[in-house]
A and B are shown apart, each in its own frame.
Chain A
């Protein structure tokens, strides 16, 4: 079974802190993604990476950055956390081939106070 593991299920951080969300996948997938999920807005793409050290902005990249130094690991960084970044964050990975599915982690519920 494909496994996408996010390092934390719940996080509480203070405004202004630098926050790291980590994601690891074990299926050698080329593509990895970070989404945030908010009620009524669905899953919105923050960043995705199609290969090591390669990244592309999604629909809502402001306030976030990412790092992909190894194929299996994709990190989301909140440079200076703000209360409007309180959300559920979901990591996903998929192979770089057509007509295949994305596999999601369990999510990280981040609260910024």
Chain B
């Protein structure tokens, strides 16, 4: 059972274009929604995160849009650059005594120069 569904599985974008990755979740008890970026040979690292009481969060070229009623959230990368080429994971965290984080399946982004 995949509690966080992510799409697309892969994405190719021209340099300067907008990359959009979408995620949907099922459990309304999730209370924190981070996005992680992973380069080859490295562990994932936090990119940006949002709480469910906020509809949008922007940090530089990266924006999360959050729709609580639809249980969906998305990552937008503006002015995409070749250095953004990586795998992106959406995630959702729930407090079950510890703070458990469930990840989506990941999106491999390739930005063409």
Contact = CB atoms under 8 A, between A and B. Distances in A.
Interface of A: 4, 30-31, 33, 35, 40-45, 48-51, 54, 56, 58-59, 90, 92, 94, 96-102, 104-107
A4 B98 contact: no
13 contacts: A31-B98, A42-B105, A42-B106, A43-B106, A48-B100, A50-B98, A56-B100, A90-B43, A92-B43, A94-B99, A101-B46, A104-B43, A106-B43
Given A45-B101, A59-B1, A59-B102, 19 more contacts: A31-B98, A33-B100, A33-B101, A40-B105, A40-B106, A43-B44, A43-B103, A45-B102, A50-B99, A54-B98, A56-B96, A56-B98, A92-B101, A94-B99, A97-B99, A98-B99, A99-B32, A104-B44, A107-B42
A98 B31 contact: yes
B19 interface: no
Interface of B: 1, 6, 9, 31-32, 34, 41-46, 49, 51, 89, 95-106
Contacts of B89: 42-43
Q: Which of A42, A56, A58, A92 has the most CB of B within 10 A?
A: A42
Contacts of A33: 100-101
A42 B99 contact: no
A31 B100 CA distance: 9
Contacts of A98: 31-32, 95, 99
Contacts of A106: 41-43
B9 to A, nearest CB: 7
Q: Give the 4 A-B CB pairs with smallest separation, nearest first.
A: A50-B98, A104-B43, A42-B105, A101-B46
For the residues of A in contact with B, the DSSP-based class is strand
A56 B34 CA distance: 22
Contacts of A100: 99
A43 B98 CA distance: 18
A96 B99 contact: yes
Contact of B43 (A45, A49, A107): A107
Nearest to B47: A101
